[in-house]
Amino acid sequence: MIEATNLYSYYGKSPVLQDVSFSLRQGELLSVLGRNGVGKTTLMRSFMGLTDKLEGRLTFNGQDITRMRTDERARLGIGYIPQGREIIPRFTVRENIVMGTYARTDGKRVLPELVFELFPILKDFIDRRGGDLSGGQQQQLAFARVLAMDPKLLILDEPTEGIQPNIVKQIHDVIVRLNREFGLTVVLVEQNVPFARAVSDRFVVMDKGRVAISGTGADLSDEVAERHLTF
């Protein structure tokens, strides 16, 4: 479904990603791991065309998207939840979710029942402003907004960072369900190695803007984690 070949991604004139290559088939889950500051978020932003320049080749379902605009990528079905969630605080829960539907190509502006099945609290808070929600509830809202676009690929940048433990488990369960039950392809930046090992079809570990090691979920051993992920 997605293939990166010799990617270089820049902020200004400085390459943050250097010669990054990997591929992911439809329905698979890829975990991206690494210490802080090694290029994980830049890789996620590169999928969406949010860096200053991207060289190499990035394809989605066989189509070259390397130089596509962000909105064009979204309309192809690439959904993205960034660090910080970036919900619109003055919009209600309903309005935030509807914002996701504007990436749809069928013109539908409906709130999917699936989001309320996955996150029942959002139905109770449907007319509450997004900025009045807790951090964990805002993350649930970010998931609801991206699911409203009916994505084919879901890109998640540390979706459980800074949220309360009970919602961490819920978010992890939702990711697994979306991937396993609904067949969504997922690219996930994740610091929880046991979780990544359990759910990943494939993983890559980033270091200094490059892929240091990659493999299947079963290859993500404690020795690999100790060598590449501890400080």
- Which residue, 25, 4, 1, 20, is CA-closest to 201? 25
Q: Which residue has the tokens 């320049």?
A: 53
Give the count of beta carbons closer than 10 Å to the beta carbon of residue 82.
Answer: 17
Query: Average pLDDT, whole number, for the chain?
Result: 92
pTM across the whole model: 0.92
CATH number for region 2-217:
3.40.50.300
Cα distance between residue 142 and residue 72, in whole Å: 20
Q: Residues 17, 174: contact at Cβ < 8 Å?
A: no
| pLDDT at site 231 | 61
| pLDDT at site 162 | 84
DSSP code at position 109: -
- Which residue, 105, 195, 56, is CA-closest to 186? 195
| pLDDT at site 229 | 80
What value does the mean pLDDT take over residues 86-96? 95
